[in-house]
Structure 1
Amino acid sequence: MFMVKAGLTRERLVRAGAELADEVGFEQVTVSALARRFDVKVASLYSHLKNSQDLRTGIALLALEELADRAADAVAGRAGKDALTALADVYRDYAHEHPGRYAAAQLRLDPETAAASAGVKHAQLTRAILRGYDLSEPDQTHAVRLLGSVFHGYVTLEMGGGFSHSAPDTQQTWSRTLDALDALLRNWPEP
């Protein structure tokens, strides 16, 4: 029988897993890798974690919560393009600061876990911003999907080096992309 190392909790393990994800990549995070980090036997972590998928889900939920908190702070008191830019910048900055956690935030969660996660808060924040653009349903849903696609696609290409070999610099392109999204949202096409 293995002794659980003093001070190890699920929360501490998930946070350490998130740090590990930022260092080595989300796909490389396993219970075994985490055990090596704490210099403990793998079996000693199973009183806190079911398996590597449980650890990854914990990291995803942590990342979604961190992103939601940052986004809520960033958009508070803003409307229209200012709110849109603040939200977009939160996602981009978080992805650059925490690449492993950002990848974790993209993890597909089971419906019950997803419904109880901060992912719902993200959708609510985005919808709150879109109210400033006077979009009704189902156009709000289309716009939420559009914004998520653009933010994630841009960040993924940028972090993968897809824009590094050409001018103008990526900050200029990001700013112009947000200008274009704002213009589109203000002039949403009729069906």
Structure 2
Amino acid sequence: MKKLLYTLSSLVISLLSTTTLIAWISKKEEESSQLIRLEQLKSEINSLENNVNLYNEQINKTELEKQLLVEEIKKIEQQIISLKEQKTSKVEELNLLTNKKNSINQQIDKLNSQIVLIDDASKQEKEKISFLLKQINKTKNQINTTINQKNINIKKIKDLQIQVNQLKENIKQTESEILENKSKKTRTYQIKKYNWLWS
């Protein structure tokens, strides 16, 4: 009887140990799977950050382009001053010069309005880029914190995935707006080329 009880006890202990071992292995496999997913999210967020930094560089280029426009305006204004100095008493020549001056003034107005548009667009783009970078850094910190936690929360990982997807959408929208503003700048350069005909 004692031998039977000992055998049964050993069997129960063995079963419990096996069950515990299986549960432990299952938990470790789940944690490993979640860690892999977190590392993937970390990689995605780093890629998004690189893209946003590229957009930021484009905005800085816009500032340089704006400066070129400002210089072009100064050049045209100098032409106007030069025209005034060239005026003679001949009515015909005076009329031609006046018409040319008026035309250049109109071009200056167009350039000024284009510069205002570029300034506004650049300001909005910078604000959006700054906001996106803050969101990216926040999500990166959350991912790193989750990776370093002993107990990985599956719900937390799902929330992080939602955040990353939302960031992707926001970046895609910002990219579309930057491309649209780039198109406006191209039209501005067409006006500049027209101005050079007067040089």
Q: When the two structures are superposed, what TM-score results if normalisation uses the length of structure 1?
A: 0.26
Q: Which has the larger radius of gyration?
A: 2
Q: Highest relative contact order (Cα 8 Å, sep 6+), 1 or 2?
A: 2
